Amino acid sequence: MSIVTRREDFQALEEPWNHLLVESSSNTFFLRWEWVWAWWEAFGASLGTLHILLVKRGERVVGIGPFYWMATTQVGLFPVRRLLFLGTAIGGKGDVGTEYIDLIVLPHHQEEVVEAMSAHLLQEDQFHEWMFLHVPDQAPGLFALLARAGKARYWLQEMHRWQCPYITLPARWEQFLESLGSTLRYKFRKNLRELEKHGAYFFRTTHSIEELDRDLQTLVLLHQARWEGRGMSGVFADPAYQHFLSMVSRAALQRGLLRLSIITVLDKPVAAVYNIVYGNKVYYYQSGFDTAFDRKVAIGTFAHTLCIEQAIGEKLDEYDFLLKGSLDTYKDRWTRAVREIVDYRLIAPGWPQWMAKVESSVRGYVRQFRKVQQ
């Protein structure tokens, strides 16, 4: 096994990385080299140190552990080396919504890959803590690694479970309309009638690099206006996030994977939806809507409906809304089908584990004290 710690060596991995990913069971856009590379360029170097594990059989790469580590502290005092997946961060800077993360393993090589990676990662004082965020609740390679850690007396905590609603797309648009609940069907038809009062609307998708910069700026403006209207900053307030998404968008557009859709009414943009198509699925990633537009039109619902119609027209299998946060309850109106993703924390035996339990107890006492004070 070898370890990639240098930027230039990571950059050279594009071809073998994506080739292995396509053959693996963890084939998702958020594990594509283009995604994790853009994330590292925008955020990673300021957060931590590359630690990509490569397992080879002869000259062929059969397993990739897409990791990095960061220096942090426990109880604000004790230095800790924390291992994370590339593309993930714990809130704030670098938290870009990377989901369905896993090891990348060639089929039938899981045992040797997990054996090699666990032998390295479980070395004493190698890493005091592992933080694996937004991993599928069914990830065979990763779960085999977690099982090895458990046998080595690592303390496994399930920190949070998230739901990702998704729609299984039918073959025809009419079938989809029939499958909608009566409320959504009524809302779609009402939106159409109200929009027609404003004149013709236009729905288009970005097709060229020349359009991309303009359409991304439209997305930024609509997104920021919506979130700032709620008294929140919005992700595009961070220039690093804008840089990250620009890099990802260019790569996705060149490979035919980007679906950045703009809805205009009388030549004025009123909605932008940023989707990625990969593995015959649509991943809904980002959006922005004109909050000052006619309140009788649920422009967000209408925009998603048009994107779903486009996906059905492309003969795609699924529309994945990705992680449902506290402000995303609207996703439940579209479907009852969900997948779960999980945040795990593993803590090494010895003083890291002891300190983590002390920290957990102190936080519990603080919560109880605050309840009493209220």
CB-CB neighbours of 202 under 10 Å: 11
pLDDT value of residue 374:
58
The answer to whether the CB of 27 falls within 8 A of the CB of 102 is no
**152 exposed, middle or buried (CB, 10 Å; 0-12, 13-18, 19+)?**
middle
Orientation angle between helical segments 209-228 and 239-254, nearest 10 degrees: 140
pLDDT value of residue 279:
95
pLDDT value of residue 208:
96
pLDDT value of residue 3:
97
Q: From residue 202, give the alpha-carbon distance in Å to each of 205, 262, 266.
A: 10, 8, 8
The CATH T-level fold of domain 170-316 is Aminopeptidase (3.40.630)
CATH number of 2-163+340-373: 3.40.630
| Distance in angstroms (rounded) separating the CA atoms of residues 20 and 33 | 11
**Per-residue tokens: 92:** 């704030």
Q: Give start-end residues of each CATH 3.40.630.30 domain in the chain.
A: 170-316
pLDDT value of residue 179:
86
Q: From residue 238, give the alpha-carbon distance in Å to each of 34, 87, 94, 290, 316.
A: 20, 16, 10, 21, 33
| Distance in angstroms (rounded) separating the CA atoms of residues 26 and 19 | 12
The answer to whether the CB of 66 falls within 8 A of the CB of 31 is yes
Q: What is the pTM of this model?
A: 0.92
pLDDT value of residue 373:
57
Closest by CA position to 97, among listed 107, 106, 89: 89
Q: Show the low-confidence residues of the chain (pLDDT under 70).
A: 75-76, 362-374
pLDDT value of residue 75:
65
pLDDT tens-digit map of 38-49: 999 999 989 999
pLDDT tens-digit map of 224-234: 998 888 888 88
pLDDT value of residue 182:
82
Closest by CA position to 74, among listed 64, 82, 65, 66: 82
pLDDT value of residue 184:
80
pLDDT value of residue 229:
82
